Amino acid sequence: MTASQFKSAPEPTLRRLPRYLHLLFRLREGGLEDVSSTLIARELKLDPTQVRKDIEYTDIVGRPKTGYPIEDLIIAIEAFLNWNNTEDAFIAGVGNLGSAMLGYQRFKKYGLNFVAAFDTDKQKIGTQIDTIPVLSIEKLPDLANRMKIKFGVLTVPPQYAQFVAEIMVEGGIKAIWNFAPCQLKLPDDVIVENAQLTQSLAVISRKLHEKKILGSD
Amino acid sequence: MTASQFKSAPEPTLRRLPRYLHLLFRLREGGLEDVSSTLIARELKLDPTQVRKDIEYTDIVGRPKTGYPIEDLIIAIEAFLNWNNTEDAFIAGVGNLGSAMLGYQRFKKYGLNFVAAFDTDKQKIGTQIDTIPVLSIEKLPDLANRMKIKFGVLTVPPQYAQFVAEIMVEGGIKAIWNFAPCQLKLPDDVIVENAQLTQSLAVISRKLHEKKILGSD
DNA sequence: TTTGTATTGCGAATTTTTTCTCGATTTTAT
DNA sequence: ATAAAATCGAGAAAAAATTCGCAATACAAA
């Protein structure tokens, strides 16, 4: 365990790493062995230096003239994000979005393995969604503790989000991926990442609005 | 149409505005009339000055000692994001995520109104999802042109994303909200916002990983 | 009326992130 | 073997975003 693993990357960097990864998968499929920061930058419309700086965080060294070995770079990024070790996770809220999340087997590639889903709807409890059992939310804390689950995904309606989040914390969950559009109030040692679609929508809404305003001149 | 409407806000600001909005809704329900940057900052764990700077972009003026009228602030933020005028939109890809998006009537509150969905699956074509008809993707360009649709949501599998995005552009769509984990190559005048879940997942994955590393010392 | 308090809004300072510059290095071609 | 081309990596510079400091202002209480 090297010291560099303790070095925290800035959030913009963390957000770019998955984009590199997707590109690298595609390039690898294409039979490429090495990749340069120049190529990545051109494909992703970024600055080559920025790509190099980002990659530095993952502790891989490139070679002049050839760049980085794609295979090694993939492994390094995955290791940096801990996506090589799958993390068992609970998900609370089996509505539209929750079901969609469960349906994505893709998440397993990103280090996330759903082991159980929770809901309050008696119609859903006892069923399975893509082999994942749906259980009563009352069982969450005890089960989380016993299974040592540290990762929770929150896809419940906003009015229940705080309540369910507290249940997760009670079960010893340390990281909550929150899809509800609200601010959770939890102990400081709980990591909360808000993955709100409305944030992303705001960016594109405003850009389109600006374009319309400018375009009408 | 004031000059300030042309002033573009930085992306971090755009991402925070919806969070303010959600909080404001909650405060309004609670019967509050005014809100200070201090209060918003405390609730959302931000810096009060940052909140004020963000709000400045929406062209509303607060009053010393009392802050901002909640109602006015809501209207100002919504206007800034153009969420007071609903934008008609097409969505391509009626899989898990696409269906989930269609199921969210909530989006109408955020200025987004789905008028038609598109897919290649003959089983799905001709059906309706939450009153939205699912049509063959071939019909997209012509229909988009005739209905003057400017906003497209892309929830198709990554291998089809580029192809379908080009079809959208052919139909005159100017803003694409892309959920596929890939980089679209489109004309420069097309706005693309990548709303990839993996980006958000990367942030929380790394934070949890760091916590584990540090915690084990 | 006066005093105390909480707030906005603006410019300055700081911090963070991105971009630029360039020497050192490795491969390829001559 | 030598020259040419392409890249990395590191430090400096620039740009962007955040935070600080404070005067001006509005309200409430004395």
Amino acid identity, position A115: V
Nucleic strand D contacts from chain B, 121-140, CB < 7 Å: none
**For residue A6, what pLDDT is reported?**
53
Apex CA B202: angle with CA A39 and CA A107, to 5°? 100
pLDDT digits (tens, 9 = 90+) for B175-210: 999 999 999 999 999 999 999 899 999 999 999 999
Is the Cβ of A182 closer than 8 Å to some Cβ of chain B? Answer: yes
More confident residue, B217 or A102: A102
Q: Average pLDDT of B59-74? A: 97
pLDDT reported for residue A106: 85
Two structure tokens written together for B73: 């602030």
Task: Name the pairing type of β-strands A132-136 and A128-129.
Answer: antiparallel
Between CA A17 and C1' C28 the distance (Å) reads 31
Question: Does at least one atom of strand C sit less than 7 Å from the CB of A65?
Answer: yes
pLDDT for residue B202: 97
Tokens linked to B137 = 């993707």
Res. B159: pLDDT tops 60: yes
- Distance of A182 CA from C8 C1′ (whole Å): 26
Nearest CB to A100 within list B96, B107, B196: B96
Structure token digits, residue B24: 């404001």
Say whether the CB atom of B24 is under 7 angstroms from strand C.
no
% of chain B surpassing 90 pLDDT: 91
CA gap B201, A14 in Å, rounded: 9
The integer distance in angstroms from the CA atom of A64 to the C1' atom of C24 is: 9
Q: Do B199 and A9 touch (CB under 8 A)?
A: no
- Per-residue pLDDT tens listing for chain A (217 residues): 344 445 689 999 999 999 999 999 999 999 999 999 999 999 999 999 999 999 999 999 999 999 999 999 999 999 999 999 999 999 999 998 999 999 888 899 999 999 999 999 999 999 999 999 999 999 999 999 999 999 999 999 999 999 999 999 999 999 999 999 999 999 999 999 999 899 999 999 999 999 988 775 4
DSSP letters spanning A7-59: PPPPHHHHHHHHHHHHHHHHHHHTT--EE-HHHHHHHHT--HHHHHHHHHTTT
Report d(CA B155, CA B179) in Å as an integer: 5
Bridge pairing between strands B87-92 and B112-119? parallel
| Chain B from 19 to 58: CB within 8 A of any A CB | 19, 21-23, 26, 43-45
Tell me if A96 and B104 make a contact (CB, 8 A cut-off).
yes
Nearest nucleic acid nucleotide to B12, CA to C1' distance = D17
pLDDT at B73 > cutoff 70:
yes
- In strand C, which positions have an atom below 7 A from any protein CB? 5-11, 16-21, 24-27
Tell me what the mean pLDDT of segment B58-75 comes to. 97
Token output for B88: 């008609």
* Per-residue confidence (pLDDT) for residue A181, from 0 to 100: 93
Q: Residue A1's pLDDT is what?
A: 38
A205 CA: distance to closest CA in chain B (Å): 6
Rounded to whole angstroms, how far apart are CA atoms A26 and A115? 29
- Look up tokens 């005048």; give the residue: B189
Whole-number pLDDT of residue A4: 42
Going along chain A from its start, the domains and CATH numbers come out as 3-81 (1.10.10.10), 87-199 (3.40.50.720)
Cβ atoms within 10 Å of B31's Cβ, excluding its own? 7
CB contact under 8 A, A110 and B175: no
Given a contact cutoff of 8 angstroms between Cβ atoms, the answer to whether B143 and B135 are in contact is yes
Q: Which of A44, A193, A196 sits opposite B18 (nearest CB)?
A: A196
B9 contact A CB<8A: yes
Q: Which amino acid is at B178?
A: N
Helix (H/G/I), strand (E/B), else coil: B154: strand
Residues in A touching B191 (Cβ below 8 Å): 204, 207-208, 211
**B 77-136: CB under 8 A from A:** 80-83, 87, 95-97, 99-100, 103-104, 107, 110-112
All residues of chain A having their beta carbon less than 8 Å from the beta carbon of residue B182 are 22, 26
Nucleic strand C near CB of residue B69 (< 7 Å): no
Sorted by sequence, the CB contacts under 8 Å of residue A202 that are 6+ apart come out as: B14, B15, B17, B18, B81
Instruction: Give residue B4's pLDDT.
Output: 43
